[in-house]
Amino acid sequence: MAAPRYPRPSKAELAAAADRLLPDVVASGLDVLFVGINPGLWSAATGWHFARPGNRFWPALHRGGFTPRQLHPSEQHELPGYGLGITNMVARASARADELTPAELVAGAEILAGKVARYRPRWVAVVGVTAYRIGFARPKAAFGPQPESLAGARLWVLPNPSGLNAHFTPESLGAAFGELHTAATPS
């Protein structure tokens, strides 16, 4: 059976999506809350996180062992059933993450701390080391587990799954997500 086809947002729909907010996919007591940098225009236009074709979040989530099959962004509502959720450091949509200011990332980290205190996930995984370094004032942070916690949750930094991040292949992204999966899976 072929995968369903979804209409591509038009240029006008993408332009209209600038600064739009995308609702979180969140529930109390998640195993892992994934934190994107901010929604892209494609995600804001469709209402689905990590929706742009070429974004490797959904394949990495599956390759890392979090989901039994690769979900389509339109299936994001299924994530809490797997103990997973998605939010963003900065809520507003933009064409590129580099359009965000350091002040927005710092403010976003503070808002994220409040969400984590409210929903109490066990792990918080920020997908983007540069956003993490700026937002949390950790200029030397590396990928993987972080020494500090956030509102009682363990912190992990993952590579940005954007197709623009050519430093990571689909396989290496899957392996990075797999390391988190191993750490976050209760024994």
Q: Pick the catalytic residue from 38, 55, 88, 160.
A: 38
Could you count the other beta carbons within 10 Å of the beta carbon of residue 133? Answer: 17
Annotated catalytic residue: which of 49, 55, 88, 160?
49
| CB-based contact 89:108 (threshold 8 Å) | yes
Q: Is residue 38 among the annotated active site residues?
A: yes
Q: Tell me whether residue 108 is exposed, middle or buried, using C-beta atoms within 10 angstroms of its C-beta: 0 to 12, 13 to 18, 19 or more.
A: buried
Query: Is 49 a catalytic site residue?
Result: yes
C-alpha separations of 75 from 95, 129, 144, 159 in Å? 23, 26, 27, 22
Cα(127)–Cα(132) distance, rounded to whole angstroms? 8
| Residues whose CB is less than 8 angstroms from the CB of residue 116 and which lie 6 or more positions away in sequence, other chains included | 33, 124, 150, 151, 152, 153
Catalytic residue set: 38, 49
